[in-house]
Amino acid sequence: MALANPPKISFCTTCMGRLKHLQQTLPQNMKDNADYPNAQFVVLNYGGEKETEQWVKDTFKSDIATGRLKYISYPAAATFKMAHAKNMATRHSDGDIVCNMDADQFSGPGFARLIADSFRQAEQRRRHIYMRHSPIEVARDGNEHASSLGKIAMLHTDFDYFRGYNENLKGWGGDDTDMNARMLLHRMSNAPIPLSMAKGIEHSDELRTSMMDDESKTASGEHLAAKQKEGGGLRSVAGKAQRLAYRMVTSALAGTNNPEGFGAGEVFINFSQTATTPPTNARATISAAIPPPNQPQIQGNQPRRM
């Protein structure tokens, strides 16, 4: 089955201790994509913070009623586990195309339409793509927009095929590089998001890791220290290339990602409905008109497993 026209796009955001950021980005992102009728905004309240829930309930009642906003609460979380949170939010989204958006990121005007046009063109050309800001462009820009590299759009079926972000990784930053490596290993190509759309809220690294457990904080500190030593320019480009190459090797050796499941847990949807993460194979393939990852030709409806 080919992509719908227009395809449904889910923007998935997780929030734990970041309500002040979400209050700035979410209303603006919804406004900037108001011209796209088939956009869905998914907010995961990771930890079930009462202040966040009350703000969403007071501010987006009509959007929840129409389905434009889907609110999910996971009160069982004691600390922030980045990959698990992203997986949970995305697996409960309804879009043909899914896009991770951190709580401190702005989409920019017309982002949903840009995503839709890019994936429709790729479908017509039988190309398999994902969308992300170019790490090389970000590095050349002096890493001013480095936090925007977590903004990744892909087909929902590809997200399911890759079994989401790697939940074995600890701390900040590695999950995006790992996902990028696995997509490149499967011969997918990046349709870069323009750097003009790499807007975010500046904040400290301490805030970035404040809700993580001690092990993840330590891993994040090591990662951030390495990035600071690189600075910008060619050294940063080389550092990103080295990390990506390392992830490609480890991903190739590891095989299937998250073999025991991903994004699992009981959640509350739109304040009341209880739900558990859907089975891995619950989503029907929507990309039969596009060669699945790592396959030069279409062979049925399901892509070959890793």
Cα separation of 197 and 133, whole Å? 9
Locate the domains of the chain by residue range: 9-276
**pLDDT band at residue 181, thresholds of 50, 70 and 90?**
confident
**pLDDT band at residue 174, thresholds of 50, 70 and 90?**
confident
Stated pTM of the model: 0.83
Between the alpha carbon of residue 81 and those of residues 3, 11, 214, 216, the distances in Å are 32, 19, 11, 8
As a whole number, the mean pLDDT across the chain is 81
Q: Quote the tokens at residue 262.
A: 């991903």
CATH assignment of 9-276? 3.90.550.10
**pLDDT band at residue 232, thresholds of 50, 70 and 90?**
low
Contacts of 245 (CB under 8 A, 6+ apart): none
115, 9 in Cβ contact below 8 A?
yes
List the end-to-end C-alpha distance of the chain, in Å, as a whole number: 22
Strands (E), the chain: 9-15, 39-46, 69-74, 97-100, 105-106, 129-132, 152-155, 189-190, 199-200, 266-269, 273-276
Q: What is the DSSP letter of 110?
A: T
Q: What number is the average pLDDT over the span 127-134?
A: 90
